[in-house]
Amino acid sequence: MDENCVFCKIIAGDIPSYTVYEDDVVKAFLDISQVTPGHTLVIPKKHVPDLFAYDAQLASDVFSRIPKIAAAVKASNPEIKAMNVVNNNGELAYQSVFHSHFHLLPRYTKDDGFSMKFTDNTNKYSSDELQKIQNQIIDHLGD
């Protein structure tokens, strides 16, 4: 528990939230910004700053709950056609609260207020460059 963390304060009940699911591992509540209606955050109750701080057990415990919560969000409104599950890690990746969290963003239409734009770099990297990147990642996987 981090006494300066807004999500830890929500877990402790010091800050109210619109909780949709809670157990001994996670809390899921409506994001106050509601990028799209039903926008829900899923957070581990254990304070970890980002995905890089997870161990295998915490990852298993948290991730195993996301499909159930996501399915409930989708079932809550017949107009929800799809869902983005987003996790930002680090300030450069748009993380604004440094307590790991997953955004469940219901999608209604292509014009519902949420977008993710990627640059297509298909022709930017040669096979050798891709293989070098591949090997650098493999070398850091460990056991």
Percentage of the chain exceeding pLDDT 70: 99
Nearest to 78 by CA among 103, 34, 108, 104: 108
Q: Where in the sequence numbering do the catalytic residues fall?
A: 101
Q: In angstroms, what CA-CA distances link 78 with 24, 70, 82, 117? A: 30, 14, 11, 26
Q: Identify the pLDDT of residue 116.
A: 81
> Positive or negative, the Cα torsion across 142, 133, 49, 70?
negative
- The CATH code of the domain at 6-116 is 3.30.428.10
Considering only the C-alpha atoms of the chain, give the largest distance between any 2 of them, rounded to a whole number of Å.
Answer: 53
Task: Answer whether residue 59 shows pLDDT above 90.
Answer: yes
Nearest to 101 by CA among 63, 139, 74: 63
Task: Answer whether residue 143 shows pLDDT above 90.
Answer: no
Report domain extents, the chain. 6-116
pLDDT in tens, 11-42: 999 999 999 999 999 999 999 999 999 999 99
